[in-house]
C-alpha cells in the first residue's frame, strides 16, 4: 500500500536515495570480526558512498549497532569524501527491535534514543518520530551508543543468570520456573528474560556481548562479569548434551524439534541447536530434525542430518525427542501419538515449554532445564 501511495520507493542506486532524502539511516550489518569486535567495513563503505552523493544538509543516522565513537568515525569519513563541503550531522539512534516481532517492536518501542550534540539534528529526529508514542531520550552520541550495548548485555546477563540458577535448581530439586516467577514479582527484577533454556543465540546478544568485551578490553577494563555471562552461555549447551547423553545408554537416533535460535524466524546465527547437535553427533548419535521454517538455513550450518517433514515424522523411530526451539506448534502436539511413534518415550524439553505432569502421566520420561 505504501508503495502504491508513493510513500515507499526502492532503489539500488545510493546516490538517488541520498539526493531524495533529508534523513539517511545506515542499517548495514556489523558482524563480529575475528577478535569479537564489530566489523565496521560495511558501515565505512556506505559512509564513503553517501558522502560522494551529498547535495545539501543531511542527517545521517547510525541505526546499526556500532561501537562507541562510531558517529564520530562516520562523520570523519563523510568529511573526507565529500566532493565539496556541505553541512551534515551524524547521530546515533540505536534500534531495539527483536526478530520475529520487528514491526510491532518498532511501532511500540519502550523508548527512542537519539545521540547527538546538534540541536538541528535533534529537532529533525524528534519530528520524524513524533507519530510514535514513546519516551524520547536525547543524549550525547557516546551514551546513545553505549545504551544499546548495555541493554543487550544486561538482557544476556539475565538469561545467563537464570540458566546458572537452573543448573543449581536441578541439583537441589527446585523448579527454575517457580524461582523465576517468584523473582519476577519483584518489580525491580521483572518477569522478562528469565526463561531458562539452551542459552541465548541470534544475531545480537552473542555478537554484542563479544563486542562489549572488546570495547572494555580496548579501554583497559577487564569486564569479568560479562565474560562470565558468555561462559555460562557456552557451557549451557555442553550441559544439555551431557544430560541427553545420560538419558541414552547407547548410540541412538535423536529427534530434534526446532533449529532456529528462537521461534518465528529462520535465523540460525549462533543458534543453540548448532552446538547441541554437533555435541550429540560427536557422541555418536544420529540426528533427525524438523523446523517449520529454518531448514534451508540450517543446511548451511549442520552436516549429516536427516530432515523430517514434521514433528511426527521426527518422532518415528527416534529414541528421544529433544525440543530446542519453542515453536508454538510443538506445544500442541498429540503426545500420545508421539509416544506410539517413538522407540522410547523420552522427551528433553530445553525450553521448559511442555507440561511435565501431562507427559509423565502418558508415560514419558520428561527432562526439562532446572526443574
Ligand atoms: C535482541 C534484543 O531483545 C533486541 O532488543 C535487540 O534489538 C536485538 O537483540 P533478538 O536477538 O531478536 O533481540 O531476540 P530476543 O527475543 O531478545 O532473544 C535473544 C535470545 O535470548 C534468544 O536466543 C532467546 O531464545 C534467548 N532468551 C530470551 C532466553 O533464552 N530466555 C529468555 O528469557 C529470553
5 burial (CB, 10 Å; 0-12 / 13-18 / 19+) is exposed
In this structure, the residues whose C-beta lies within 6 A of any atom of ligand 1 are: 95-99, 152, 155, 159, 193-195, 197, 200-202, 204-205, 261-262
Q: Can you tell me the distance from the alpha carbon of 243 to that of 156, in angstroms, rounded to the nearest whole number?
A: 23
Ligand 1, atom 15: closest residue by C-alpha: 98
- The residue assigned the cell 566489523 is 39
**What is the pLDDT at residue 1?**
87
Instruction: Please identify, by atom number, the ligand 1 atom nearest to the C-alpha of residue 201.
Output: 23
Instruction: Please identify, by atom number, the ligand 1 atom nearest to the C-alpha of residue 198.
Output: 30
Alpha carbon of 196 to ligand 1 centroid (Å): 12
Contact 293, 320 (CB under 8 A): no
Alpha carbon of 103 to ligand 1 centroid (Å): 16
Interhelix angle 141-172/176-184, nearest 10 degrees = 140
pLDDT along the chain (371 residues), means of 10: 92 93 95 89 96 96 93 96 96 93 94 98 98 97 96 98 98 97 98 98 94 95 98 97 94 98 96 98 98 97 97 98 98 97 98 97 97 92
Ligand 1, atom 9: closest residue by C-alpha: 204
Question: Between the CA of residue 59 and those of 44, 76, 257, what are the distances in Å?
Answer: 16, 14, 46
- Which string of DSSP letters, residue by residue, matches 217-232? HHTT---HHHHHHHHH
Cell of 286: 544420529
Ligand 1, atom 28: closest residue by C-alpha: 193
Ligand 1, atom 27: closest residue by C-alpha: 200
Question: How would you classify residue 69: left for phi > 0, otherwise alpha for psi between -120 and 50, otherwise beta?
Answer: left
Alpha carbon of 205 to ligand 1 centroid (Å): 7
Find how far residue 18's CA is from the centre of its chain: 30
Alpha carbon of 211 to ligand 1 centroid (Å): 17
pTM here is 0.94
Q: Can you tell me the distance from the alpha carbon of 159 to that of 168, in angstroms, rounded to the nearest whole number?
A: 14
**What is the pLDDT at residue 37?**
87
Catalytic residues, which ones?
204
Amino acid at each position: 500500500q505504501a508503495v502504491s501511495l508513493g510513500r515507499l520507493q526502492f532503489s539500488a542506486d545510493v546516490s538517488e536515495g541520498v539526493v531524495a532524502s533529508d534523513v539517511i539511516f545506515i542499517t548495514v550489518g556489523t558482524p563480529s570480526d575475528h577478535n569479537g569486535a564489530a566489523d565496521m567495513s560495511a558501515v565505512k563503505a556506505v559512509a564513503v558512498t553517501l558522502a560522494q552523493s551529498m547535495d545539501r544538509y543531511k542527517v545521517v543516522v547510525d541505526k546499526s549497532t556500532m561501537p562507541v565513537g562510531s558517529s564520530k568515525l562516520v562523520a570523519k569519513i563523510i568529511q573526507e569524501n565529500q566532493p565539496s563541503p556541505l553541512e551534515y550531522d551524524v547521530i546515533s539512534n540505536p534500534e531495539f527491535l527483536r526478530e520475529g516481532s520487528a514491526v510491532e517492536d518498532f511501532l511500540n518501542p519502550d523508548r527512542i534514543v537519539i545521540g547527538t550534540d546538534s540541536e538541528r539534528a535533534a529537532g529533525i529526529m524528534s519530528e520524524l518520530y513524533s507519530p510514535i508514542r514513546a519516551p524520547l531520550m536525547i543524549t550525547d552520541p557516546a551514551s546513545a551508543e553505549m545504551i544499546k550495548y548495555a541493554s543487550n548485555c544486561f538482557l544476556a546477563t539475565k538469561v545467563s543468570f537464570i540458566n546458572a540458577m537452573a543448573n543449581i535448581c536441578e541439583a537441589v530439586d527446585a523448579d527454575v520456573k517457580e524461582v523465576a516467577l517468584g523473582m519476577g514479582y519483584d518489580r525491580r527484577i521483572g518477569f522478562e528474560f528469565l526463561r531458562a533454556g539452551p542459552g541465548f543465540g541470534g544475531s545480537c546478544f552473542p555478537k554484542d556481548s563479544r563486542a562489549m568485551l572488546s570495547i572494555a578490553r580496548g579501554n583497559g577494563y577487564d569486564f569479568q562479569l560479562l565474560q562470565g555471562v558468555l561462559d555460562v552461555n557456552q557451557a549451557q549447551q555442553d550441559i544439555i548434551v551431557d544430560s541427553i547423553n545420560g538419558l541414552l545408554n547407547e548410540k541412538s537416533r535423536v529427534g530434534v524439534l526446532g533449529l532456529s535460535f528462537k521461534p518465528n524466524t529462520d535465523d540460525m546465527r549462533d543458534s543453540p541447536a548448532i552446538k547441541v547437535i554437533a555435541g550429540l553427533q560427536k557422541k555418536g548419535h544420529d540426528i533427525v530434525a524438523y523446523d517449520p521454517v529454518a531448514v534451508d538455513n540450517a543446511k548451511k550450518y549442520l552436516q549429516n542430518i536427516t530432515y523430517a517433514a514434521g514433528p511426527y515424522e521426527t518422532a518415528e523411530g527416534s529414541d528421544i525427542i529433544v525440543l530446542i526451539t519453542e515453536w508454538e506448534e510443538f506445544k500442541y502436539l498429540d503426545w500420545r501419538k508421539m509416544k506410539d511413534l517413538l522407540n522410547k518415550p523420552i522427551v528433553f524439553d530445553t525450553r521448559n515449554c511442555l507440561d511435565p505432569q501431562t507427559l509423565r502421566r502418558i508415560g514419558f520420561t520428561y527432562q526439562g532445564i532446572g526443574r
